[in-house]
Every structure is written in structure tokens, then in C-alpha cells.
Structure 1
Amino acid sequence: MVLILVLGAIMTTFDMTVVNVAISRLSQDFGAPLATVQWVASGYSLALGAMIPVTAWATGRFGATRLYLTAIGLFTAGSVLAGAAWNIESLIVFRVLQGLGGGMIMPVGMTILLRAAAPDRLGRMMSTLGLAVLVGPLTGPVVGGWLVDEVSWRWMFFINLPIGAMVILLAARLFPRDTPQARRPLDVPGLLMLSPGLAALIYGVTTGGERHDFGSAGVIVPIVVGSLMIAGFVARAMTTRNPLIDLALFRNRSFASATGTLVLFAAGYFGSMILLPLYYQVVRGESATMAGLLGITGALASGTAMQIGGRLVDKFAPGKIVLTGITLAAAGFALFTGALAADTPYWVLMVALAVIGAGGGTTMMPTMTAATRGLSHDEAPAASTTVNLINTMSAAVGTAVVSVLLTNAMAERVSGPAAPAGDLGTPISAETRASVAPALADAFQYTYGWALALIVLSLIPALFLPRHRPAEQANDPAG
């Protein structure tokens, strides 16, 4: 059962990373600037986040197995349509459809896992599910880069058809049948405030970067409206009987500390993932395939550390493991950022990426395990929904902000008709690239510095994670 969940999750993580190596090609093929093309990634992430809030309710209403099969089917259909897109607008729309299905896959899968796993084996089971975080980022850039260079970017999406069909077939045969659950009403007002509020906030941030102006009404209005809608959702969730997301979970110190850590760490860690393939292609002139290959060390280190960290968190205090992971990631980001230039040896960057990956793998799954351990059977859907929502939306916000920062940094440092700032699809000659590469590399270095700051800040909530072993935590009412 766990391996089926892993296979389904791989599709979502694969599609979150595979697009990164194709950003430059999509910009060129569709004649669209970075601020528009990045919505192929951000729109997908936002759609994931929009569906996650309703997942806990839908799990109780329709059953975990039935909902999981529906999610895989919707994701697969969206993949086929994305591969058939005829312009950048249609691609973004179909990526959103993909995300609507993908947003339910991880939280429903985690709910199925939480209900099946014994508490003393939760870390091990979560690390197995975390294989998707290894295989997706590891194969996504490489396979995606090869498809972009040698076949067509459309096959980045068509490849999900046989995988999705296999998951549906296996899950339908092997997953436990749904049992009747107590139904609760859907918090429609909460849903109508949270999902659009998040989308409006990200839209405002991204539009500000595209226009290089955060003072216009077209930017300020969606940011303010989005923030007010999110605040309204929080106020409602604290007073209504059946909230869309049960904020009472945050009374648990472990859950609150873990989710606080995820907000900052995921924004910096996943948000920066869009930068690496762009750096290799725009600054160094590498192909999409090579850009994917050069990122393998980080993905491999992340997946390996995740398997180790998931097993350690079943035996040792999660606070100590997570603090170690964040420190490793911060050290890796500092090394990478400090060394980044137009001619930095690739082996230096790959070593730094390995340290970043090791830190990320030692942080993510132990933090998510700390958030969900000790919760009851009835709390599992709400907890998995909340954790996945926070993780996904933090990554979406991070990606949008990083895109804005990079676009503005390139615009400030490079000018003239040959500058790729804001339009990464504009072909430039080797001679022109050599002349602007130092300035472009400086823009990437500046942007990575912001990601490093977020990683360092995540140490603060991580200090409040449990410092005792799992067995002791289970007997501690403070959590």
C-alpha cells in the first residue's frame, strides 16, 4: 500500500520540479516573459493549495480510497491536457486542473498512512512516503531536461498517463474499502475566503514583480484583499463549530512549532528550486538536460538524508534532529550563495547542493512527523490537510517571491536589448552572454541570499520542537 502511495506522490513532486528546467524553453516557444511563465509552476502550486483545505471534509464525505482514486484521475486528465496546450494561457489553465487533482493526493495519502501506521513506526512510514521527494526532484529535472532537448516539452506531461493508470488500477484493487464516517458540513464561507485569499495574495506579489512596481492599485488591491480574506478565515475558524481547518490543532505545541518551522523552511528551500536550472541555462548557457543533471547531487543527498532522518525520529527527539537539519541546510545555502559567480567550478556548487539537500532531507519529514505524531484517528485528516496546505502554500509563496526578486535583480543589473531580464526566452549569443554573465550571476546570488535568510529564520520555531524521545512525548500532555 505504501509503495502505491509513493508512486502517486511521485507524479505530483515530479511535476513540481520537471517544469523548472523547461521555464526557459516555454518562455521561448510561447514568447512569454518569466513573470508569466512562472505561473506554469505557481498556478499549479496554487491549485494544489486551493484543493487541500477541502480535503479533510471530502475524506469524511466520500471516503479516503474513493477520494484518492478521484484525485489521481483528475491529475492524470490534467496532465494529458497540459501536454496538448496551444498557448501559454491554456497551459497555465491545464496546470491548474492538474493541481486541483494533485492537491488531494498527498493529504489523502498521508491520511491513509496515518490511520494504518503504528505510532512507533510513523517516522519510518513517513520516510518511505518521502521517497517521492527523492525520486521526483531526482528524475524530474533529468528526464524533463532530456525530453525538452531531445523530444518535446509536451512529453513532460504525457508521461503521467501510464503512471496514473497504473496507480488507479493498483489502488482500486489493494486499498482498504471505505468505511462510513461521521459527516460534518462543509464550511463554505471558510473555503470561499481561504482559497481565493491565498490566490489573490500570490497574484499581487507576482504582478508587482512583473510590473516592477508594488505601488500601483493593480498590485496593492489583491495583496490587501487576499490578506483580509485570510484574516477573515482565521477569525471564522476560531469561532465556528465545523471550521474548514481545525485551528485547535495549533494548541498542541509540537504541531504549532512544526508548522511554524515548515512555513519558513519550505518557502526558502522549495522557493529557491526554480533558481538553479535558470542559473545553469541563463548564466552558464547549459542545456535543459545538463541543468537537470547538475542538480542530481542535491536531490540524491536529500532523499538519502530523508530515509535516515525518518528512522531517527522514531528513536530520538525530533527537536534535535530538525535543528541539525536546518543548520546543515543553512550552511549549504551560505556556501552556495557565497561561491556563486559566472565561472564558479561546478564541483563547488554540487558539493554545496549536497549539503543543502542533506539538510533539507533531515528537516522536512522529521518536522512533518513531529507535527502528526500522537494525534487521534479522527484528527488525522485535519492534521494531514493542514500540514500539506502549509507546506504547499509556503512553497508557492516562496516561488512567487523568488521569481519577483530575480526578475527585479536582473532588471537592475542588466540593461539593453540583449538583457534576458524579464524575458528568459530571448536568445543571446555566446559573446553577449559572456559580457552580461557576471551581472546576471550577481542577481542570482542576491536572490539566493533571501532564501538563506528564510532558512536561518526557521531555526526560531524549531527551537520549540520536543526535546524528548517519542515514547516520552506520548506520555506528556503538553505534546
Structure 2
Amino acid sequence: MPIERTALRTAIAVLVGGVAVILDSTIVSVALHELAADLNADVSTIQWVSTAYLLALGVVIPVVGWLQSHLGAKRLWMAALTVFLLGSVLCSFAWDAPSLIAFRVVQGVGGGAMMPLMMTMIMQAATGPDRARLMSTVALPAAVGPILGPVIGGLILGAGDWRWLFLVNVPLCLAGLFLAWRMIPADAPGRRVRLDVVGLALLSPALVALLWGLSNVSGGGGFAQLDVLLPLIGGALLLAGFVLWALRRRGDALVDLEVLRSRPTWAATTLMFLSGASLYGAMLLLPLYWQELRGETALAAGLLLIPQGVGSLLSRTAAARLMDHVSARWVALIGFVLVGVATVPFALAGADTATWPLLVALFVRGLGMGMVMIPLMTVAFIGLEREKVPHASIVTRIAQQVGGSVGVALLAVILATAATGNSLVSAFDIAFWWTVGFTAVAVLLSFLLPGRVATEGGAPASPEPALAPAKA
């Protein structure tokens, strides 16, 4: 059965604009050395080019649902994409490190609004089986962005100036704006709610503190550093405060945590956290393995990761079709098993291990990651009312973002700690075994996903309550 035309047009429009945001963060990561040299900045300063972008995401993501209720999805999408475009152009004209960091914040504000909104718009436009098939399209940049971004960034740096890392976003953003104007149907703002000022004052600083603390873990002291411990403790306390506040306010909270009473939603959210840890954590280890143990250049290491991106490309459509015949639970389970099994060869590898078996393993790992994302991004919204979809989108996005940061931080500490008492080969083996462990936990939790995604008629299945209903 063909996908409903309006839903397909919406998916195409948001994909073109969204791909620039997803690729941008990983493209820039390969250019920090060149940026430090050209802007006469030290490494600790230039790291804020990435950190400031990450923190801006943490500030904006929680307010996306409130903004959508006031502006409507189409207006908010085009406004956020315009802000991201403006930030990209400004970054290309940066004259020193502080100006570049400030302009990256502008980029992060636009990108932070777009990421959860992308899923919300697809889920609200599509129904039944269309959701899984459209998610296979929307998940494309999310699956291959972390893999292809460093390759594209390396090619741009090899051919020209670092400013083109930001200017490459311009045609994508302009095309995305045109398609959004022409293809996304106009929508009226939803039920307007007052801004939950207390919730905003708790949640946004909580995310900023957590992400900032985790980004500082790579320093010599690991989690024992004050600039890690203090933000993490403060962020955890603020987050706990927000949870208590949101449970009291229910539907009037900045992010309605009542959506987590649906078992599909909280199970998918937990697995999004683990998939973020597994994907982004491994994306720290894999390039380092090729460079530090195998002596490859940064560009060569990026090219060697292409099989993983190809695997993700090929499996995303297959996963959507497979969900028409078996449950989301089994698709996710198979995906996580493939990711875990394909990571084992790296946990056993040394400096002289043959390259081709590792490339095959990367391809299989990509197949698994592509299969995992489709059911998780689909089942998180099963049975939710339309006005609850933005809240579920924000919750899952936060889980994936924080999960990725936790994975990177933990594996950075594990690798550094293991390297002090072992050879570098053994240190990498230990770190990769931890990655396999993350995936094993995800395999077990996959059994909590629902057995079916849709009823025979194509309507979303009713959610299975995770908790007893709250008393009035």
C-alpha cells in the first residue's frame, strides 16, 4: 500500500532540512586541529566549538513542545531552519575563537528545535504502517550522519578552507526551506498552554549541566574532576526536581512525563538511551582504534568506517518492511544482537589483525544499528494522543542525546584507565567489551517492547500501561 501523500511530502521536506543539522556536528568534529591553528586558539578553547553547540541543544530541546503549541509545526520548523542557516553563515565569517563559539550557539538553538520536531511532524502526519516506513526515511541521516560526517569533513578540509564546513549547509538549508514552504501543510497552533517557567528553570539547566559535565570527562582526572562532579551532581538534582514538579503538573508541565506511563514509550526511551551510548560511544573508539593502533590518518579512519554507514543504509528499509510481518520487539532484538556480535571482533583485535574481517564486522554492525532505530522511533508513539506526541518526541530525543554523551564519557574513562595498567591493545579490547556489555543490556530490555505496532486496520495499538494511573 502506498504511503499517504501528505505524510510522504512532509517526510521529504523535513529530511532535506534535517540532514544538514545531523551532519553538521560530526563534520565539524574533524576540524578542531585546523580551527585551533587558524584562529590562534589552544585546544581547551577550541573544544568549546563543539561543547557550546551541544549545550545550546540542551537549552532548546525542552521548550519545543511549548513553541509548537504557539506557532504550529510548520512555522516553527521554518523558523528553526532559518536560525540554523543564519548560524551556519555567521560561523563561516568567524574571525576568532570566541566569535565562532558564539555563532555555534546560534546554530545549536536552531538545530535543537529541529531534532525533536522532525519526529513529531512525521508521527502526527502519518498513521498505522506508514509510520514505520516513513521513519526508515527520517532515520537515514541519524544512522549515517555520525559515520559519513567525519568523511565529508575530511574531504572538505583536504580540498579547501575550514569555512566550507559551514557553508556546505547553505544549499541544504535553502532547499529545505523551499520544500517546507511548498510541501508541509499549514497547521494551526495546538492547545495553547502557559509556559511552565519553573519547569524550564529546572530542566534546561539540568540538561546543560549534565551535558557539560559529561563533555569534561575526557580530561586527565575522569569523573573525579571538579568540572565533572559539580555539573553532574547539580544537573542530577535539578533533573530530580523537574521530575517531581512535572508529575504534579501533568499536562501543564513543560514536558509531560505522563507519556512514560505507556510501556512502549518508556521502553523505547530507555533503549534510545542505550542505543545512543552504544552508537556514539563506539564512534569514539572506532576512529581511535584505526588511528592509534593501526597508524591511519583521520581521513583514512573515516573512510574505513564507510561499511558501517552502508549497512545502516541498506537495513533501514528492510527493517520497516520486516515490521509489517513480525513485531517491533523482534526487529529491535535482532538489531541489537547484530550490533553486539559485530563489535566482538574489535574486542579481540590487535594492531596486526587483518583489515577485511573488521570491515565485514563494521558492515554487520551498521545493519544492526539501522534495524534498531526504526522500531524504537516508531513504537515510542504507539497509542499516544496527538497532543502528547511532541512530549514523547522530546523525551526520546533527550534520552538519546544524554545516552550518547554518557557512552562517550564512560568509554573515554574506561579506555584511559585501562591504558594505565595495560598495553594500548588491551585497553582498546577492554573498552570494546564494555560496548558489547551496553548492547547486551539493550538486548534484554528489547523484550519490554510491544509485540505489535499496529492493529489490522492500521490504527495505532493501545498503549500498555507501565504504571498504575495516578490518583487525582
Task: State the TM bucket, normalised to the shorter chain.
Answer: 0.7 to 0.9
**Alpha-carbon distance in 2 for matches of 1:19, 1:451:** 25
Alignment counterpart, residue 240 of structure 1, candidates 223, 237, 249? 249
Aligned with residue 106 of structure 1, among 115, 118, 131? 115
Trace 1:219-298 onto structure 2 (pairs within 5 A): 219-241=228-250, 242-298=252-308
Distance 1:355 1:5 in 2: 28
Are residue 306 (structure 1) and residue 316 (structure 2) matched?
A: yes
Q: Which residue of 2 aligns with 1:379?
A: 388
* Structure 2 residue 451 is matched with structure 1 residue 467: yes
- 8 A Cα contact 2:264 2:463, kept in partner: no
Counterpart pick for 2:212 among 203, 206, 211: 203
Which deviates further from its counterpart, 187-196 or 268-277?
A: 268-277
Q: Percent identity?
A: 38
TM superposition score normalised by structure 1:
0.86
Superposition pairs for residues 69-218 of structure 1, below 5 Å?
69-134=78-143, 136-137=145-146, 139-212=148-221, 214-215=223-224, 217-218=226-227
* Structure 1 pair 364–281 and aligned structure 2 pair: CA distance change class (3 A): same
Partner secondary structure for residue 238 of structure 1: helix
* Residues in 2 aligned to 1:185 and 1:80: alpha-carbon distance in whole angstroms: 34
CA contact (8 A) 2:81 2:114 kept: yes
Residue 458 of structure 2 is aligned to residue 478 of structure 1: no
Contact 1:38–1:403 at 8 Å: present in 2 too? no
Pick from 349, 355, 358 the counterpart of residue 349 of structure 1.
358
Distance 2:425 2:98 in 1: 30
Question: How many angstroms apart in 2 are the aligned matches of 1:86 and 1:271?
Answer: 33
Tell me what 2:71 maps to.
Answer: 62
Specify the alignment match of 2:335 in structure 1: 325
Pick from 386, 392, 404 the counterpart of residue 401 of structure 2: 392
Q: Tell me if structure 1 keeps the 8 A contact 2:132–2:323.
A: yes
Q: Is the Cα contact below 8 Å between 1:336 and 1:353 reproduced in 2?
A: no
Report if aligned partners of 2:382, 2:453 keep a CA contact under 8 Å in 1: no
One-letter amino acid matched to 2:464: A
Amino acid at match of 1:63: G
CA contact (8 A) 2:59 2:204 kept: yes
Partner of 2:6: none
Deviation of the 1:27 alpha carbon: 6.0
Counterpart AA for 2:432? Y
For the 8 Å contact 2:190–2:387, the answer to whether it is kept is no
Distance 2:452 2:364 in 1: 26
2:17, 2:81 within 8 Å by CA — same for their partners in 1? yes
What is the TM-score when the length of structure 2 is the normalising length? Answer: 0.87
- Whole-angstrom CA distance in 2 between matches of 1:441 and 1:22: 27
Deviates more, 1:190-199 or 1:85-94: 85-94
Would you say the 8 A contact 1:46–1:396 is kept in 2?
no
For the aligned residues, what is the CA RMSD? 2.6
For 2:469, the equivalent position in structure 1 comes to none
Q: Deviations over 1:304-336 (max 9, x none)?
A: 111211232244211111111111101111222
Distance change (3 Å), C-alpha of 1:291 and 1:19:
farther
AA at the equivalent of 1:321: V
Q: 1:367 aligns with which of 370, 376, 394?
A: 376
**Secondary structure of 1:378's aligned partner:** helix
For residues 417-475 of structure 1, the C-alpha deviation after alignment (integer angstroms, 9 at most, x for no partner) is xxxxxxxxxxxxxxxxxxxxxx4444433333332222221223211111246217945
Q: Is 1:444 paired with 2:454? A: no
CA distance in 2, matches of 1:25, 1:350: 29
Secondary structure of the residue that 1:357 maps to in structure 2?
Answer: helix
Structure 1 residue 293 displacement after superposition: 1.4
Mapped to 1, the partners of 2:270 and 2:355 lie a distance apart of: 34
What secondary structure does 1:179 align onto? coil
Residues 349, 31 of structure 1: CA spacing in aligned structure 2 closer, same or farther, 3 A cutoff?
farther
Distance 2:416 2:50 in 1: 16
Q: Structure 1: which amino acid aligns with 2:182?
A: R
* Matched-pair contact (CA < 8 Å) for 2:13–2:184: no
Deviations 1:244-273 (A, max 9, x none): 111111111111111111111211212321
In structure 2, what is the equivalent of residue 433 of structure 1?
none
Q: CA deviation digits over 1:366-424, x for unaligned, max 9?
A: 111011133222222222222222222222332344344445555x369xxxxxxxxxx
Distance 1:294 1:353 in 2: 9
- Cα shift at 1:354: 1.1
CA distance 1:172–1:214, shift in 2 (3 Å): same
Unaligned runs of 5+ in 2: 1-8, 466-472
Deviates more, 1:342-351 or 1:250-259: 342-351
- Rate the CA distance shift 1:475–1:155 in 2: closer, same or farther, 3 A: closer
Partner of 1:428: none
How many Å separate the matches in 2 of 1:269 and 1:395? 7
Deviations 1:94-141 (A, max 9, x none): 333222111111222222212221212110011111222355345423
Q: Contact between 1:322 and 1:367, CA under 8 Å: does it hold in 2?
A: yes
What CA distance in whole angstroms lies between the structure 2 residues aligned with 1:88 and 1:406? 30
Conservation of the 8 A alpha-carbon contact between 1:32 and 1:88: no
Kept after mapping to 2: 8 A contact 1:121/1:314? no
The answer on whether the counterparts of 1:210 and 1:407 sit within 8 Å (CA) in structure 2 is no
